[in-house]
Amino acid sequence: MAIAGRGRGSGPHASADADRARAGDADPGDRPAEFRYGAVFLIVLTLVVFLVIAPDEDWARAVALALEAAAMTVAIATSRVRPAVRRRRAVLGAVAGVAVVVGVLTGIVSTVAFAALAAIIAVAIPVELVGGLVRLVRRHGVTLQAVAGTLAIYLLVGIVFASTIGFVAHVGSGPYYAQGTDGTVGQHVYYSFTVLTTTGFGDLTAGTPVGRALAVVEMLVGQLYLVTVIGLVVGNFTGRRRQERED
């Protein structure tokens, strides 16, 4: 005898929907998120350049946080989690971003708070990116979007350390740099990337034990990330392109 009135939650289709939900895919009726790691990379690169050249004023800090919030929003949109979760995260992120930007413009958010918030957002973006990058590589292999995502994370590492330097400089009792200054936001970013890439021009050097310890950690993180993650991703990408040309 056939069983009538089978519930919506039973059968092979329900099982497939449950598998998609566990995997973080979009529901069949919703448009899936696109992989937009190239856009995240361009926003973060713009942020780095802006931070270096912008004056150390409230409006510049507000613009910097707005760029970070934009990168975070794109990272959420491309995360490939369920649409309802994406929308909820995007709305919360947008509201929080607007509130922080307004706080900086009105002077409510202090320089120390700005450095802490910038570091938190810069950490949150790679956390959001990693899951999507893993899914992208598993499904499509190492693509140009995957390379852009790993490079965006590398830039964000530099921003995280720059924000940490700014926080330590403002709460410390003496000058952060051996040159006798705590530095501006632009100098923190500039110094951070010279350390991350082990360029070391020498015009700004850490003058405190905590500063030197941060420099050592940043150099190690930067070099290990370059030779492992980026080296592996770029190597697989070029190998795949070479194989495609040969085929």
User: 119-176 pLDDT, tens per residue?
Assistant: 888 898 888 888 888 888 888 888 888 899 999 999 999 999 999 999 999 888 889 9
Q: Determine, yes or no, domain membership for 67.
A: yes
Mean per-residue pLDDT for 45-65?
A: 93
Q: What angle do CA 109, 113, 118 make, to 5 degrees?
A: 105
Q: Determine, yes or no, domain membership for 182.
A: yes
Return the pLDDT at 160: 93
Question: pLDDT tens-digit profile of 67-115?
Answer: 998 898 888 877 655 666 667 776 776 777 787 788 888 878 888 888 8
Tokens matching residue 145: 């979007």
Domain that holds residue 116: 33-236
Q: Determine, yes or no, domain membership for 23.
A: no
C-alpha separations of 178 from 159, 162, 174, 189, 211 in Å: 21, 17, 10, 17, 10
pTM: 0.79
Question: pLDDT tens-digit profile of 186-211?
Answer: 999 999 999 999 998 989 999 999 99
Token pair 């059968």: residue: 11
Q: Determine, yes or no, domain membership for 24.
A: no
Q: Determine, yes or no, domain membership for 15.
A: no
Q: Determine, yes or no, domain membership for 242.
A: no
Q: Determine, yes or no, domain membership for 155.
A: yes
- Give yes or no for a contact between 145 and 95, defined as CB atoms under 8 angstroms apart: no
pLDDT band at 9 (very low <50, low <70, confident <90, very high): very low
**For the chain, what is the domain count?**
1
